[in-house]
Structure 1
Amino acid sequence: MGLLGRIGGPAIWAPDAKELAGFYAAALGGDVGEEYADESGKVRAVFLPVGETTCFFHTAETFRRPDWPREELPFHLDLVFDDIPATVERLLALGATKPDFQPGGDGWTVLLDPSGQPFCVTRSH
């Protein structure tokens, strides 16, 4: 049996969907897509098209940043770039932070996005 479907992309909760979508758009060199507001006009969801994938960001009023590495993560993003050191510096300038705990050795660098969620910067495998 062949492939029946595909994953469109992850849905990521944050205190501010628009802000976090903007960070990842700048990180990846893309543009923020369509925004969806609630009945009061507050932006609650934002799409970010990235190639054939779409990330979906959702504003969650009760969002709590993960206490990583003490807490296990249900998932995280791996962002792939050719020049890891230059990319890390650029992402730090965009608002990411670099935690002391770096379990990847030379394989990847862990950063925290502006909402405090870990993601990895790595080369293509």
Structure 2
Amino acid sequence: MNTAKTSEPTFRYSAVTFDCPDPAASARFYSEILGLPVVFSTDDFVLLGQEGAAGLGFNRLTDYRPPTWPDPSQEKQAHIEIGVDDLDAAQARLLALGAVEPGFQPEPDRWRVLLDPAGHPFCISTLV
């Protein structure tokens, strides 16, 4: 009988990667709002992060189709929640950086849904 302990693998959250048409443009947008530097970059992939912390990746997808939220014809696959101190000031800054405000806002007094330059929905909230 083998009594050697089998080591369990260790898992850690390392990144979320978004498909997009232009990884450099998406990375610039999120780098600006989150203060994350580029830690790896090719023509088709950019990773933002900090040493020892989870990051955000952006992967070029040639036939990328942005989500059509809130229209379900091309569902969102994921979205980021970003905590802010002031919804109005944060929204104004994000719009200046290239975010787009969709016409539908489910609870604008609690959180705002915006679209990044590639069309991915993300939320800003004072609750996060």
Same fold (TM over 0.5): yes
Which residue in 1 is equivalent to 2:31?
25
Which residue in 2 is equivalent to 1:7?
13
Which residue in 1 is equivalent to 2:54?
53
CA-to-partner distance for each residue in 1:39-61, whole Å, 9 max, x for gaps?
xxxx0000010582211110110
Which residue in 1 is equivalent to 2:79?
76
Cα distance, 1:18 vs. partner?
0.8
> Where does 1:88-103 land on structure 2 (aligned, <5 Å)?
88-103=91-106
Structure 1 range deviating more: 60-69 or 98-107: 98-107
| CA distance, structure 1, for counterparts of residue 88 and residue 35 of structure 2 | 17
Runs of 5+ unmatched residues, structure 1: 37-42
Cα distance, 1:23 vs. partner?
0.5
CA-to-partner distance for each residue in 1:17-51, whole Å, 9 max, x for gaps?
01101100001123222102xxxxxx000001058
| CA distance, structure 1, for counterparts of residue 127 and residue 40 of structure 2 | 29
Secondary structure of the corresponding residue to residue 67 of structure 2 = coil
Which residue in 1 is equivalent to 2:44?
44
Cα distance, 1:15 vs. partner?
0.3
User: TM-score w.r.t. structure 2 length?
Assistant: 0.82
Which residue in 2 is equivalent to 1:118?
121
Runs of 5+ unmatched residues, structure 2: 1-9
Cα distance, 1:124 vs. partner?
4.0
Secondary structure of the corresponding residue to residue 18 of structure 2 = strand
Query: How many residues were matched structurally?
Result: 116
Secondary structure of the corresponding residue to residue 121 of structure 1 = strand
Are residues 50 and 87 of structure 1, via their aligned partners in 2, closer, same or farther at CA, if it must alter by over 3 Å? farther
